[in-house]
Amino acid sequence: MLDFSSLLLAAALSGICLSVTMFAIWCTAPKAGFVLTVACGILVLVAHVILFWRYTKEPDPLLCQIVLALLSLGFLIICLSSMQYLGVPGYRRAVAPTLAAMAICAAVTFIGLDGVGFIITYATVTALLSAIGVMFWINGSHDRRILLVVSFLSGTCAVSFALCGMVLLGRGQWALAAAPDNWAERLNSVVAVACMTGLGALTLSLHHLQAQIELKAETMTDPLTGLMNRRALTSLYGERSFGPFMSVVMFDLDHFKRTNDVYGHPVGDQVLCRFAAVIKKYARTGVDAFRLGGEEFAVVISRMTDERAYDLASKIGVAFGTEIVATQLGPLRSTVSGGIGFGETDGRRLDDVLAEADTALYAAKRAGRNCVISRKRTGKAEPVKPALRSA
């Protein structure tokens, strides 16, 4: 026969180790708020386990109420940490029902129906764990293998708590005056220790995974404009073959060095951000924008004919020509030149399409700037002047 007290102490020790580890991780990475939330939830469960162990030795009605409240509260916090990690809104949907169940549990336990209190608490915990499993199953967008294991462990733990409640319900044990002790409770102790240890380890894995994703996003993003950078362009399209419905537009802000020299670099940064904002307005499925460095930008267009891609690039140029940046020297209106490179039926490499776009861009600058030029198969330049020009 399993030693019930030993199982409880093992659960408490495991929880303490996990929470200390998570607190240490959070101290090194404060942005990982869900790790701190999990650590707090586990500490509450550790307090529950310790007091429950005390309750098995010296039953007391007040202690029973505290024990049951801590059990529900601990899993509520862990449920909230899951919502926090997955970005699921509406914390009230978990908090309000749980607090209501805790209040009902305290009331029935106060009048001596502690067995009913245990049943209500086990049902509450089962619902919370089931919710965690469902959220990770539905909302997870990272490594599915880890998320499915989280769902499995949460579901298994939920079943073990449900069995505890069903045994009490089946036996009609409405008033216990002591801690419940049956095969379901012992099984739950083993399952809870195993599952909570596993969930704690997976929380660390999820934190590591999230940190990797954030780091990759940072290395792929231009910090000033929020657009993707040259590294992202190479990563996404370096191995792609550009077919007949793909193109690349290269943009270069006109006289940008003069803008920095006359108005200052902070104004120059505003101009860059304004152009990035214009590109974002025209972003859609199949349109990816990148800042290559300095005043150079690139837009990769997929699933569009040459004419539509050319029209989109021209609209971006016209829209940017209407943007006005307020400066100490008066309003500033800037323009942009663009060149387009196209894919082919047999496919082309990114470098070849960029080279064509770059050649067209320099042709636009030689043509007087503030225009978009496309060098088609005939090699003929086709400038389109935006209606509004810079002052």
SS (H, E, C) 227-296: CEEHHHHHHHHCCCCECCCEEEEEEEECCHHHHHHHHCHHHHHHHHHHHHHHHHHCCCCCEEEEEEECCE
Q: Using CA atoms, how far apart are residues 131 and 86, in angstroms rounded to an integer?
A: 12
Q: What are the φ and ψ backbone dihedral angles of 348, each rounded to 5 degrees? A: -135, 155
pLDDT tens digits along 309-354: 999 999 999 999 999 999 898 899 999 999 999 999 889 999 999 9
18/380: higher pLDDT: 18
As a whole number, the mean pLDDT across the chain is: 85
Torsion sign over Cα 95, 96, 101, 103 = positive
H-helix or E-strand spanning residue 17? helix 4-28
Q: Taking residues 7-30, what's their average pLDDT?
A: 77
Q: What is the pLDDT of residue 213?
A: 65
CA 150, 155, 157 angle in degrees (round to 5)? 100
pLDDT tens digits along 233-256: 998 898 899 998 999 999 999 999
Instruction: Report yes or no: 163 and 126 within 8 Å, Cβ to Cβ.
Output: no
pTM for the whole thing?
0.62
Q: Which long-range contacts (CB under 8 A, 24 or more apart) does 276-285 make?
A: 276/225, 276/226, 276/227, 278/316, 278/319, 278/320, 278/323, 279/227, 279/316, 280/227, 281/319, 282/312, 282/315, 282/316, 282/319
pLDDT tens digits along 122-172: 999 999 999 988 888 887 555 566 677 778 888 888 999 999 999 999 999
34/260: higher pLDDT: 260
Q: What is the pLDDT of residue 381?
A: 43
